[in-house]
Chain A
């Protein structure tokens, strides 16, 4: 039950922030892909920098609770998936 509640709250917080940041707007996403409006790109890089700093500092301080689960590497699937995803992202704009 705790996992479900935690998941719901985390998802709701993330959905709220994505909407408020303007990441649900078609023109923001296409603006970033067309290099004419970088807000979506700046938002995403800020978020991942904060996460990287958090993980890195926690690692240096020896806080094991903030050690991230690392995604595996599984070969050419990343590139095949990336091509499909890239075309889809530009078509749909989300």
Chain B
């Protein structure tokens, strides 16, 4: 991911010249459609919730959830998508209430620039530090301790070098997984910085603002992500079900 930050930073100054990153302009769905933001955002939110309800009825993944999980105490088990999704939405709103913006890839770049600044170098894309860069860098620094707290509190903190599904689908152990994570991390970070956000900044926090750029980015990466996933799992389609049927949980996956 660090390499991704530096690759983007090298390209950053050259992007206008290549013509793929024009001067940023404000373009949102309300502006394009010429309607006020408030009602459109509420309508969008309601529509998405209806879509989630429909997806929940059709979700083939639910058959892998053993009933015993639902009876485990809340402190120990994985939470459902309703409670955890609502909490994540509130965190996004909380960031806005602080006058900030929840975006992990941008925060990662900010944090990187703070670290390289210790050695006398600042990223081209994060040349100056203000309150917003400090907040974003601190936010990214807080992510891992937060997840670790959840893992420790649920007693699910384990060292799992190769996730079971990868092992079952590709049966090739640590080397291939490490290579995929390395390449994936590089592509994720450079792609997110180039495209203006990651799953958090462009999708979860970006879609509610009805930003056209975020819509373009989010739809592209989910489309390409699905196509790549189907290509990777070509002929291994049923492995996911087989592995999940063995009973994976927060600790083992």
Contacts and interface: CB of A to CB of B under 8 A. Distances in A.
> Majority SS of interface residues in chain B?
helix
Given A16-B150, A25-B250, A86-B222, 20 more contacts: A4-B138, A6-B98, A15-B150, A16-B146, A27-B164, A42-B56, A48-B207, A49-B52, A53-B45, A55-B96, A68-B101, A71-B197, A71-B213, A81-B194, A81-B196, A82-B216, A87-B224, A88-B188, A91-B183, A92-B181
Interface residues of B, number: 141
Nearest to B84: A21
B221 A91 contact: no
A17 B84 contact: yes
A48 B90 CA distance: 10
Contacts of B199: 44, 89
Contacts of A51: 45, 89, 92-93, 204-205, 208
B179 to A, nearest CB: 9
B244 interface: yes
B82 A46 contact: yes
Contacts of A26: 163, 165-166, 253
The 5 residue pairs across chains A and B that have the minimum distance between CB atoms: A81-B195, A92-B184, A50-B89, A82-B220, A86-B224
B165 to A, nearest CB: 5
Given A42-B52, A55-B96, A89-B199, A13 B146 contact: yes
A74 B195 CA distance: 8
A53 B187 contact: no
B125 interface: no
Interface in B206-245: 206-214, 216-230, 232-233, 237, 240-241, 243-244
A2 B10 CA distance: 32
Which of B85, B92, B196, B203 gathers the greatest number of chain A CB atoms within 10 Å?
B85
> Majority SS of interface residues in chain A?
helix
A43 B85 contact: yes
Contacts of A76: 19-21
Contact of B221 (A7, A19, A57, A89): A89
Interface in A64-79: 65-79
B221 A77 contact: no
Nearest to A86: B224
A9 B24 CA distance: 30
B184 A10 contact: no
Interface residues of A, number: 85
Given A56-B44, A88-B185, A88-B187, A17 B88 contact: yes
A45 to B, nearest CB: 5
B95 interface: yes
Interface in B85-134: 85-102, 107, 131-132, 134
A12 to B, nearest CB: 3
B49 interface: yes
B15 interface: yes
A82 B84 contact: no
Contacts of B163: 25-27, 93
